[in-house]
Amino acid sequence: MWVRIEEEIDALVQFRKTAASPALKAITWRGSQRVFDRDPEVFRDRGDIYFEIRDASTKYVIRYDTLDSKWVLQGIDDHWSTGPHDLPQPKGFLPP
């Protein structure tokens, strides 16, 4: 089940001059570092960049606020490893 978090976080990213968005490598949330070894799904909305990415047990939606240059953990799904893997894409938890 998706849980809305909406907390500012630190992110380790790599900016490449040939890429349209930064490559998200890791985040630090509540004192714990989460490292990602796969590419996220990336989409843009109203100037923000959203990353849907997962590690071994959790799926994350992370927003990069391009106007304020800050990273926000929008929400998580910590049942990724035990639940069905055909969950609907949250698309950054935007309102319908």
In a domain, 32, yes or no: yes
In a domain, 19, yes or no: yes
Torsion angle of alpha carbons 1, 36, 63, 30, nearest 10°? 70
In a domain, 37, yes or no: yes
In a domain, 55, yes or no: yes
**Which residues fall within 8 angstroms of residue 71, CB to CB, at 6 or more apart?**
8, 9, 10, 11, 27, 62, 63, 64, 65
pLDDT digits (tens, 9 = 90+) for 41-88: 998 888 899 999 988 888 899 999 999 999 999 999 877 555 544 444
Identify the DSSP state of 83: S
Binning the chain into helix, strand and coil, the percentages to the nearest 5 are 5, 55, 45
Res. 90 pLDDT band, cuts 50 70 90: low
Indicate the number of domains in the chain: 1
> Which range of residues forms the domain containing residue 43?
2-83
In a domain, 94, yes or no: no
Q: Is the pLDDT at 39 greater than 50, yes or no? A: yes
- pTM, 2 dp: 0.78
